Amino acid sequence: MTDQSTTPHQTPSPNTNVVQTTTPSNSFLADLTALFDRHPAVSKALMVIFSAIGGAVLSLSATYKFIEQQVQFQAEVKLAPYEKLFSAQSLLSSNEYDLAAQELHELVAKKVIEKFPEKMQITIYDNLLFAIVNADNYSGYEPDIYKIQAKFRENAPSTGWRSQQLGWYFMRLGAYDTATEYFIKSKAAFNSESDFLSSVDPLRGLLTIAIVQGKMNEAKDISKKIIAINSMTYRSYDDLIADIKQIPGNKYYLNIRAREGEALDINLNTYMKLLKDPSNRLTKTSR
């Protein structure tokens, strides 16, 4: 076996070569300064360039901020009418009719309502009508009532509820003939809807007008119909009399009382005496 000499692995010696690093020479700045001194136009040109770059950055930042503001503004513009509608509905549920009427009036007056879908527009007009009819300051919304009437004629069916509300409005306003027309339309509409057959609200409106105008025979006939339709609430004339007695103190009749004066008290007493007369016996009356 031949001896094989092994060459030992040579460990490399540490690298002693120093990496040469260079530092900027101060002469560069001196040369640049000298260049600016010899050529002022170059200095001005560079200043203009850097200013333009800085201005562009600021302009871009301002543009982004403007876009953000516009997006936020448009979102608020679109949401604001809905917030006002929700606010008005909340006021209605709290019986704050005057405040609700004002909120809804602003939606209609500013034509913001046109931004709503058609079905929601009808809802807004329904809410406005209900608020006005029950508001203390109902007489200040006559232009809105005309808008509501026009809207209903164009885009909404004539329902018993809508006609009834309009009837109460015109009755409070003292327009008894117009109110009578709406109450009659309301009763006819309710008669065609089985769910509302027991509603006597239109008849109560007609009864009030008959009493105010001193039409006692008509008032008596209407009273019979009311009891025939809703015998659960009005079991006899006594229940109806108790209902009528509340008229003088009811805020919804204050304007009627102020307008009719003592004549209303006289007519109310005459009507109640008529119903209390023993000769008056209840008979079934057709609806």
Q: 79-93, 130-144, 156-170, 247-261: which has the minimum mean pLDDT?
A: 247-261
Residue 141, exposed/middle/buried by CB under 10 A (0-12, 13-18, 19+)? Answer: buried
> How far is it, in rounded angstroms, from Cα 225 to Cα 118?
38
Q: In this predicted model, which residue has the larger pLDDT, 53 or 153?
A: 153
Contact 229, 264 (CB under 8 A): no
Choose from 34-48, 65-79, 172-186 the range with maximum mean pLDDT: 172-186
Q: Is residue 173 scored above 70 in pLDDT?
A: yes
Contact predicate 209/176, CB 8 Å: yes
Q: Which of 26-35, 85-94, 110-119 has the lowest mean pLDDT?
A: 26-35
Q: Looking at residue 63, what is its pLDDT?
A: 53
Report the pLDDT value the prediction gives residue 193, as an integer from 0 to 100: 67
**Residue 248: per-residue pLDDT:** 75
Q: Where exactly are the structural domains of the chain?
A: 71-156, 157-287
Q: Determine contact, residues 226/242, Cβ cutoff 8 Å.
A: no
The confidence band for 117, taking pLDDT boundaries of 50, 70 and 90, is confident
Give pTM, 2 decimals.
0.68
Q: Exposed, middle or buried, 182 (CB in 10 Å: 0-12/13-18/19+)?
A: buried
